[in-house]
Chains A and B, each alone.
Chain A
Amino acid sequence: MRACVVAIRRLAPIVVVACAACSGRMPALDPSGPQAARIATWWWIAFWVSVVVLALVLAFLLHTLARRRIAAAPASATHDPRVERRLVIGVSAAVGLSAVTLLVLLVSSIATGRALHDFGGADPLTVQVTGRQWWWDVEYWDPVPSQRVRTANEIHIPVGRPVLVKTRSSDVIHSFWVPGLHGKKDNIPGHGSSLVLQADRAGTFAGRCAEFCGVQHAHMQLLVIAEPPEVFEAWLQGQRTSAKAPTEGPARRGFEVFMSGPCALCHTVLGTPAGGRTGPDLTHLASRRTLAAGTVPNTPGHLAGWIIDPQGVKPGAQMPANSFDADDLSALLAFLGGLS
């Protein structure tokens, strides 16, 4: 027993240092919202319990090996009753202790689960997130249809307000996961599910699809951007405005390229005839930070590469390759760059 205590004393600082070094890069353990914080708290309990259990078992095992006797006598089927008694007591105590420990973990886990379920409040912001191969279709719900906002791969949320995320899918199973804010919830075709998350501080939180969903599962990411409420409201208001068809310059030419080319078949730009639903809504494309669900940053160069050769950027993606001459392409970029 003393050996075990010594072993734990020696081990504990190492473990603490190792964990402290890592947790900075671990959004799940460095939570930025109440839901993720609840989970992290439970995990730390389970973690320390595990460290103690593992240390005890290993210490006991090593101690047993260290004090082993040489096998002088042949193996036998009879045992010393005093030794047996001690072993019976030891094993019973260990099993009893395990049961109690598990019970503690079970009860705390159920309490944590209940708290996760019950979190919400009267007036959460409601966002419906539909998983698509391989991007996220995001719709901000509003009782007035004209006030609803549609975007893709980026979810802005106000700091300090619960957000009800309704997870849906229109093709295969995906799973919505933003580790800094909450655990994951599957997007299952034919089933609706939801989770409530909240950010306690402003910041950008990486999220992604966690359920294998096909060729480009690896590049199905999203960003959650938590902003002060007034900044968020301004953003939401901005997203409600439709785009205006440019009337002159290269952007006008780009607009024509967009409408006459294949783009409009799959993408929507509100305020223009483009109303395709296959790909992401591009009404405010220029305001987004990434392209192709977090695959590349949203810069004109990457956008051009993505339009011309999407299969090179994200092999297997649903977007087909396009061929435009240089003038048309730069005009198209000018048009898309104006969609802020």
Chain B
Amino acid sequence: MPVRRVGAPTTGEAAREALDRAALARAWATPPGWLGWLTSANHKSVALRYIVTAFGFFALGGVLAALMRLQLAHPESRLIGPDLYNQIFTMHGSTMMFLFAVPVMEAMGIYLVPLMIGTRNVAFPRMNNFGYWIYLAGGLMLWTSFVLNIGPDTGWFAYVPLSGPAYAPGKRVDIWAQLITFTEVAALVAAVEIVVTTLKMRCPGMSLNRMPLLVWAMLITAFMVIFAMPAIMAASTMLAMDRLVDTHFFNPAEGGDALLWQHLFWFFGHPEVYIIFIPATGFVSMIVSTFARRQIFGYPAMVLALIATGFLGFSLWVHHMFATGLPMLGESFFTAASMMIAIPSGLQVFCWLATLRGGRVVVRAPLLFALGFIALFVLGGLTGVMLAAVPFDLQAHDTYFVVAHFHYVLIGGALFPLLGAILFWLPKMCGRLPNERLGRWSFWVLFVGFNVTFFPMHLLGLGGMPRRVYTYATDAGFATGNAAASVGAVILTAGVLLFAANIAWTLRRGAPAGDNPWGGETLEWATSSPPPIYNFAYLPTVDGQAPLWSPHERPVVTGLRTDVREILITDAIDATPDHRQRLDGASIWPLLTAMAGTAGIVTALFTPWGVTIGALLLLVTLTGWFWPRAGHDHAEQAP
């Protein structure tokens, strides 16, 4: 039975707290050395590993982008041939979308959500580790194929029939389709973690209307992942079957339909954009409120805007397909839906502006990234409204105008907030403060480099330059814009390197951060930096949206066992305590299960029997995973 104790521990209780901390550290510890690394069930170490891996893929995707800018820097370039160029842009898109953007956002959620809601871990710690290994295997598989010159070459959207068996022989597209399956599984695993953790493990007092906006953003994102991924899952499986066992889902000659792929792909693909963007809005909300020294303006409106974005995100996939030829009514519907989503997005921008207006702004590097986000996102959003209109989309679709637009919303709208968030939470993650001057320099270099790279692309698109071309004619009029964009890419690269230098500097030389270096309002700032493996000695409680700014003393939860991994399960709406629950600890089975799945899917590249082999291997590893152990009591305990 959890007992509440009001107030900070008195002197007499300090010794007791030290004992509790020692017990907690023993109970939650991971095995030492490399075994601990392979088996970890700690949300923070898995999340950090996820984030570092995702940024590794970001660097690889960035190198590909630099190669494309090198090739396009001048007309008629023969540096990179069409076959390699097509692999490069396919790998760039697939890496950035599947291996960087979605995983890194979910990984930030896995790191931050348990801390922000005041609990000790995520709901399914072993599955969390499993998700990471699946993601890593999928990413390595894709990049190995690229290095072996059998990388996919039909675009990250892999339109059929170009990606079908008749026009894409060989294993290239098979590898792409299998990778999609893997990232789907990893993304779904992380989404389930976040949904269950958020809804059932919030500390007492954190009713839904007191949840930090970032947690809201992560919750809505996770639900979107759960609803969006099945569409691409079905589509990529159908494609793999068309290629592997001669089904005809997408073969028009046999009654299949090429447009079916586009519907399924974009029913996932458009929500995917919001899956990347919504967590970014969460970062911005936390950064803005911290440095404006006031709570975010219009919290209920912000939450409703996030929910509205989540729903509307599913109703505008067809705006990627305007050029396929739609009936008038369909055009009008999807134009209206696409424009309507600008209202919740606009509302959020206005609320951030109002927060800044009503607050006492302290400008620090993380805030610069958030402010840069506002400028770039508004521009990207406006070109998005233009593209929502069918007539203009017919001109701009598949041109560099679209390339400019989505880089403004993805880099401006998601990467800038993410970089701000990294700077913002880096002190929490490593216990050291980043270098402010380097942070500002990296922001300005990135901001300038970004605009020099991508703004000219609007003009190139309006001038008629299509996407996904490996070269262009000297007299086409694209030379100046492309040269500018390539110069911008150099500046952008310098900015990324400066940012990386700041991280390296912080890890080696950063000043000690203390618990709450920025004066943040949410619970992650209530524990030490970096947090102990059990997050909080005593689970906190909250009485408002900004617990750390509250003048009242915050009671803590006591009565949870410290000698086993025990957490408090609370009600989904009001977060009233419900029961105690034990969580699993470190295990090697998630890794073995991921390896079994990988073996199956790699075999399935070559023969349908891979599915059978994989299923049998999974049967063995899952049996090992779920084998009941003596003395390991999973039963719920009444509070």
Given A68, A95, A188, which contacts B360 in the complex, CB threshold below 8 Å? A68
Q: Nearest Cβ distance between residue A33 and chain B, in whole angstroms? A: 13
Known: A61-B375, A113-B332. A77 touches B358 (CB 8 A): no
Q: Does B56 contact A (CB under 8 A)?
A: no
For window 543-587 of B, CB contacts with A under 8 Å fall at 544-546, 549-550
Q: Chain B's nearest CB lies how many Å from the CB of A74?
A: 7
Give bound CA distance, A300 to B340, whole Å.
Answer: 56
Hey, which chain A residues are within 8 Å of B350, CB to CB? 90-91, 94-95
Whether the Cβ atoms of A183 and B161 lie closer than 8 Å is no
A35 → chain B, closest Cβ, in Å? Answer: 9
Known contacts A206-B464, A315-B81; A110/B323 CB under 8 A: no
Contact of A39 among B162, B295, B332, B395 (CB under 8 A): B395
**In the complex, A177 Cα to B347 Cα: how many Å?**
37
Q: Is A277 an interface residue (CB 8 A)?
A: no
Q: Mark A125-138, 1 if CB is under 8 A from B, else 0.
A: 00000000100000
- Distance in angstroms between the alpha carbons of A72 and B360 in the assembled complex: 8
Tell me the smallest distance from the CB of B383 to a CB of chain A, in Å. 7
CB within 8 Å of A: which of B351-397? 351, 353-354, 356-358, 360-363, 371, 374-375, 378-379, 382-383, 385-386, 388-397
Give A194-232 interface residues, CB cut-off 8 Å to B: 194, 206, 208-218
By secondary structure, the B interface counts as helix
Q: Which residues of A contact B392 (CB under 8 A)?
A: 39, 42-43, 46, 109, 183
User: Is B378 touching A28 in the complex (CB atoms < 8 A)?
Assistant: no
Q: Which residue of A lies closest to B377 (CB)?
A: A57
Whether A76 and B294, one on each chain, are in contact in the complex, defined by CB atoms closer than 8 angstroms, is yes
Whether B161 contacts A71 by the Cβ 8 Å rule is no
The answer to whether A46 and B463 touch (CB under 8 A), given A75-B549, A90-B354, is: no
Known: A179-B395, A184-B323. A218 touches B470 (CB 8 A): yes
Size of interface on A: residues with Cβ below 8 Å to B: 86
Q: Give the Cβ gap from A34 to chain B, nearest Cβ, in Å.
A: 12
In contact, B323 and A183 (Cβ under 8 angstroms):
yes
Q: Are A175 and B162 in contact (CB under 8 A)?
A: no
Partner of A188, one of B259, B379, B388: B259
Known: A185-B325, A188-B324, A315-B81. A57 touches B389 (CB 8 A): no
Select B389's contact among A26, A46, A61, beta carbons within 8 Å.
A46
Can you name the residue of chain A whose Cβ is closest to the Cβ of B342?
A102
When the two chains form their complex, are residues A73 and B386 in contact, meaning their CB atoms are under 8 A apart? no
Which segment of A79-87, A148-156, A246-254, A268-276 sits at the interface? A79-87
Write the nearest CB–CB distance from B121 to chain A, whole angstroms: 29
* Interface check B636, CB cutoff 8 A: no
Question: Which residue on B lies nearest to A208, using beta carbons?
Answer: B466
Residue B469 is within 8 A (CB to CB) of chain A in the complex? yes
B293 within 8 A of A: yes
Say whether B167 contacts A172, CB under 8 Å.
yes
B window 275-319: CB within 8 A of A: 290, 293-295, 297-298, 301
Taken together as a complex, chains A and B put the C-alpha atoms of A316 and B467 apart, in Å, by 19
Residues of chain B with a CB closer than 8 A to A79's CB = 294-295, 358
Scan residues 55-114 of chain A and give those whose CB is less than 8 A from a CB of chain B: 57-58, 60-61, 64-65, 68-77, 79, 83-84, 87-88, 90-91, 94-95, 98-99, 102, 105-106, 109-110, 112-114
CB distance from B251 to the nearest CB of A (A): 9
What 1/0 mask marks residues of chain B from 86 to 116 whose CB sits below 8 Å from any chain A CB? 1000000000000000000000000000000
From B293, B395, B467, B477, A28 is in contact (CB under 8 Å) with B395
Residue of B nearest to A193 (CB): B325
Judge whether B328 is part of the interface by a CB distance below 8 angstroms.
yes
| B545 / chain A contacts, CB cutoff of 8 Å | 77
Question: Is A160 part of the binding interface, using a Cβ–Cβ cutoff of 8 Å?
Answer: no
A175, B398: Cα distance in complex, Å: 9
Known pairs A76-B294, A95-B350; A215 contacts B379 (CB<8 A): no
Contacts known (A76-B294, A113-B331, A208-B466); A191 close to B346, Cβ less than 8 A: no
Task: Tell me the bound Cα distance from A88 to B469 in angstroms.
Answer: 48
- In contact, A25 and B477 (Cβ under 8 angstroms): yes
How far does the alpha carbon of A232 sit from the alpha carbon of B159 in the complex, in Å? 38
Instruction: For A106, give its contact among B328, B336, B378, B462 (CB under 8 Å).
Output: B336
| A50 in the interface (beta carbon within 8 A) | yes
Distance to closest chain B CB from A261 (angstroms): 27
> Considering only CB atoms, which chain A residue lies closest to B382 in the complex?
A50
Among residues of B, the one whose C-beta sits closest to the C-beta of A25 is B477
CB-based nearest B residue for A90: B354
Question: Which chain B residues lie closer than 8 Å to A38 at the CB level?
Answer: 391
Cβ B323 vs Cβ A210 within 8 A: yes
Known: A61-B374, A109-B390. A189 touches B346 (CB 8 A): no
Give the CA-CA distance A94 to B375 in the complex, in Å.
16
Q: Which residue of A lies closest to B335 (CB)?
A: A109
Tell whether A186 is near chain B: CB-to-CB under 8 Å.
yes
Does any Cβ of B come within 8 Å of A116's Cβ?
A: yes
Contact B323 A186 (CB under 8 A): yes
Cα(A306)–Cα(B86), bound, Å: 23
Distance between B50 CB and nearest chain A CB, rounded to angstroms: 31
Q: Which residues of A contact B343 (CB under 8 A)?
A: 95, 98-99, 102
Closest chain-B Cβ to A27's Cβ sits at a distance in Å of 6
Also in contact, A210 and B466, with CB within 8 A (given A50-B382, A117-B328, A172-B161): yes
Specify which chain A residues have a CB less than 8 angstroms from the CB of B390 in the assembled complex: 109, 113
B472 contact set on A, CB distance < 8 A: 218
| A87 touches which of B257, B293, B297, B477 (Cβ 8 Å) | B297
**Could you tell me if A91 and B298 are in contact, using CB atoms closer than 8 angstroms?**
yes
Q: Mark A296-333, 1 if CB is under 8 A from B, else 0.
A: 00000000000000000001100000000000000000
Closest-by-CB residue of B relative to A188 is B258
Known: A39-B394, A53-B378. A171 touches B161 (CB 8 A): yes
CB within 8 Å for A25 and B463 given contacts A105-B389, A188-B258, A315-B81: yes
Cβ of B126 to closest chain A Cβ, rounded Å:
38
Give bound CA distance, A77 to B383, whole Å: 37
Known: A53-B378, A172-B167, A190-B257. A61 touches B386 (CB 8 A): no
Instruction: Report A53 CB to chain B, min CB distance, Å.
Output: 6
CB neighbors of B among A162-186 (8 A): 171-173, 175, 177, 179, 182-186
- A3: B residues at CB distance < 8 A: none
Tell me the nearest residue of chain A to B256, going by C-beta: A190
Minimum CB–CB distance for B426 against chain A, Å: 20
**B151 in contact (CB, < 8 A):** no
Chain B residues near A68 (CB, 8 Å)? 356, 360-361, 363
Q: Which residues of B contact A26 (CB under 8 A)?
A: 459, 462-464
A109 CB to nearest B CB, Å: 4
Chain A interfacial positions (CB closer than 8 Å to B)? 22, 25-29, 36, 38-39, 42-43, 46-47, 49-50, 53-54, 57-58, 60-61, 64-65, 68-77, 79, 83-84, 87-88, 90-91, 94-95, 98-99, 102, 105-106, 109-110, 112-114, 116-117, 133, 171-173, 175, 177, 179, 182-186, 188-191, 193-194, 206, 208-218, 315-316
Given A36-B395, A188-B259, 5 additional A-B pairs, CB 8 A = A38-B391, A50-B385, A76-B549, A90-B350, A183-B395
Contacts A/B (CB < 8 Å), 28 sampled: A22-B459, A22-B462, A25-B477, A28-B395, A28-B396, A42-B389, A54-B378, A57-B353, A68-B356, A68-B361, A68-B363, A69-B360, A74-B549, A75-B290, A75-B294, A77-B544, A90-B357, A95-B350, A173-B159, A175-B397, A179-B395, A191-B325, A194-B325, A211-B323, A211-B398, A212-B398, A214-B86, A217-B466
The 4 closest A-B pairs by CB, nearest first: A183-B394, A190-B252, A193-B325, A109-B389
